C-alpha cells in the first residue's frame, strides 16, 4: 500500500470543529435481511439471518432515546419498502461544512441492492435546504468509510472493499481538505466504521487486525492514544461500531465487556444499548445514525 498521507497542493489543513448537535435516523419499518452483502448477514449454516421485526423496532426506539438523552436532536426519514438496509443511514451521505453551511455528498453505493436508497436522502436534503453534491460513478459509501474526528477536524477514509480510492481526489477537492486514507482487506470489516472510531481527546478505538502495517503506523501518527478493541467483541458485538457524539459519552452494543472496561479506564462514560437485530445485517450503533451540524 502506498503512503496514506498524501500531500495535496491547495488543500486546507483541518481545523477544530464543534461536536454535532443533531443526528439523522431512518425508521426500521422495512428493515430485514433479504440478501447477503457482508459476512454478518448469514448464520453458521450459510442461511440469511431472520429478523424479529417487533424487537428491531424496540431496539431502534431505545437507541433514538439514548441519543436524545445525550442532547442530540434526532431527525428522521421514513424507511422505504424494498430497501431493507436503508436504516443504516451513515452510508448514503457524507456531511461537511462549507462556509459555515451544512453540505452533503451523496454516496455511490457499491452494492446494487442499496443504490436506490440514495435518492431519498437527496430529497430529504433538498427539503431541508441542504446543498447536495455528486462525485461520479466510483463507489463511495458516505460515513461508513469517511469519518470525521470532530475534536481535531481531521477526516479519515477507508477504501478497498466498499469505497474506491479513486473517488478520494474529487472528494478532497470538493471539501478542500486532505483525507487520511486506509486500505481495508478483511470482509468482516468492510467499512471503516466497523474498525475505527475517533473518540476525541486525541484518542481512537480500532480493530488492529483490520489494518495493514502501514495503516497502523498512520494511526499512531495521528492519535496520542490508540485503544485496541478485542477481535472477538469487534466481530460478535460490532464493538468498534460505537458512537462517541461529544468526546465523553460512548454508545455501544451491550455485552462488549472488555471494550467497555478499556473505555472506562480512559475516562469515557458507557451507554449500552441492544442492536442485536441490526447486527444480524452487519450494522450497529454508528451505522444507524448520521451525525450533523
pLDDT at res. 15: 55
pLDDT at res. 18: 87
Distance CA 188, CA 42 (A): 12
Distance CA 28, CA 55 (A): 11
Tell me the per-residue pLDDT of 173-227, one tens digit each, with 9 for 90 and over: 999 999 999 999 999 999 999 999 999 999 999 999 999 999 999 999 999 999 9
The 3-state DSSP class for residue 218 equals helix
Instruction: Indicate which residue of 89, 195, 244, 287 is catalytic.
Output: 287
57 is catalytic: no
Tell me the per-residue pLDDT of 271-281, one tens digit each, with 9 for 90 and over: 999 999 999 99
Strand partners, 249: 269
240 is catalytic: no
- The candidate with the shortest Cα–Cα distance to 196, out of 175, 216, 221, 176, is 216
Burial of residue 287 (number of CB atoms within 10 Å: 0-12, 13-18, 19+): buried
Place of cell 492514544: 225
Distance CA 177, CA 257 (A): 37
| Nine cell digits for residue 23 | 443526528
pTM over 0.85: yes
Burial of residue 113 (number of CB atoms within 10 Å: 0-12, 13-18, 19+): middle
Local mean pLDDT, 10-residue blocks, the chain (293 residues) = 37 68 97 96 94 98 98 98 98 96 97 97 98 95 98 97 97 97 96 98 97 98 98 98 98 98 98 98 98 95
pLDDT at res. 54: 98
Strand partners, 200: 203
Instruction: Indicate which residue of 110, 191, 195, 271 is catalytic.
Output: 191
Amino acid at each position: 500500500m502506498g503512503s496514506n498521507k498524501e500531500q495535496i497542493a491547495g488543500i486546507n489543513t483541518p481545523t477544530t470543529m464543534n461536536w454535532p448537535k443533531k443526528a439523522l435516523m431512518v425508521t426500521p419499518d422495512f428493515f430485514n435481511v433479504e440478501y447477503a452483502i457482508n459476512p454478518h448477514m448469514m448464520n453458521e449454516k450459510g442461511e440469511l439471518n431472520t429478523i424479529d421485526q417487533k424487537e428491531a423496532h424496540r431496539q431502534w426506539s431505545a437507541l433514538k432515546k439514548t441519543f436524545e438523552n445525550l442532547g442530540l436532536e434526532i431527525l428522521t426519514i421514513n424507511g422505504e419498502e424494498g430497501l431493507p438496509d436503508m436504516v443504516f443511514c451513515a452510508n448514503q451521505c457524507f456531511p461537511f461544512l462549507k462556509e459555515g453551511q451544512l453540505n452533503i455528498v451523496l454516496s455511490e453505493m457499491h452494492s446494487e441492492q442499496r443504490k436506490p436508497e440514495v435518492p431519498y436522502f437527496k430529497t430529504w436534503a433538498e427539503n431541508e435546504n441542504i446543498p447536495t453534491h455528486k462525485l461520479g460513478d466510483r463507489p463511495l459509501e458516505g460515513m461508513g468509510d469517511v469519518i470525521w474526528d470532530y475534536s481535531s477536524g481531521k477526516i479519515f477514509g477507508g477504501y478497498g472493499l466498499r469505497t474506491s480510492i479513486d473517488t478520494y481526489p474529487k472528494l478532497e477537492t470538493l471539501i478542500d481538505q486532505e483525507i487520511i486514507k486506509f486500505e481495508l482487506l478483511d470482509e468482516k470489516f468492510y467499512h471503516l466504521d466497523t474498525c475505527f472510531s475517533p473518540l476525541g481527546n486525541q484518542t481512537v478505538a480500532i480493530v488492529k487486525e483490520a489494518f495493514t502495517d502501514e495503516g497502523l503506523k498512520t494511526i499512531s501518527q495521528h492519535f496520542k492514544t490508540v485503544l485496541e478493541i478485542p477481535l472477538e467483541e469487534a466481530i460478535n458485538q460490532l464493538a468498534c461500531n460505537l458512537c462517541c457524539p461529544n468526546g465523553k459519552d460512548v454508545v455501544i452494543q451491550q455485552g462488549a465487556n472488555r471494550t467497555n472496561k478499556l473505555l472506562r479506564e480512559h475516562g469515557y462514560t458507557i451507554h449500552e444499548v441492544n442492536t442485536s437485530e441490526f447486527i444480524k445485517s452487519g450494522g450497529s450503533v454508528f451505522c444507524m445514525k448520521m451525525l450533523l451540524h
